[in-house]
Amino acid sequence: MKSLVSEKGQVTIPKAVRDRLGLKPGQALEFEARGGLLVGRKRAAATRAVDRLFGILGPLDVDAELKKSRGRAWNPAQDAPRAHRR
């Protein structure tokens, strides 16, 4: 199989090779020159830190968590002795 280098240095990998190696669009490749040969290998997909954390926590009831964190609502009748409001 043969492929040409474009003016921008780009090379098209023949479809048969892409299929055999399971290369998909967006796949990262790593290249090195070794003894006059160009060696390319697939790189592990880069993931964002937030993607690695997805799914760590179980289901969460946001309303219930907000109620717990905020405490009970202010009641002037119950809090009058402690509240010094003008």
Predicted TM-score (pTM) of this structure: 0.47
The enclosing domain of 33 has a CATH number of 2.10.260.10
- Does 85 reside within a domain? no
Number of structural domains (the chain) is: 1
Please give the full DSSP string across the chain, using - where no structure is assigned. ----B-TTS-BPPPHHHHHHHT--TT--EEEEEETTEEEEEEPPPP--HHHHHTT-S----HHHHHHHHH-SPP-HHHHTTT----
Question: Looking at residue 46, what is its pLDDT?
Answer: 62
Residue 65 phi/psi, 5-degree rounding, is -65, -40
| 37 found inside a domain | yes
Low-confidence ranges of the chain (pLDDT < 70): 45-46, 80-86
Q: Can you give the residue range of the structural domain that contains 22?
A: 1-46
| Domain assignment present for 26 | yes
Please state, in angstroms and rounded to a whole number, the distance separating the CA atoms of residues 74 and 84.
Answer: 13
In this structure, is residue 76 part of a structural domain? no
80 falls within a domain: no
Predicted local distance difference test score (pLDDT) of residue 52: 75
* 71 in a structural domain: no
Q: What's the pLDDT score for residue 59? A: 86
The pLDDT value recorded for residue 33 is: 95
pLDDT at position 18? 93
Task: Determine, yes or no, domain membership for 41.
Answer: yes
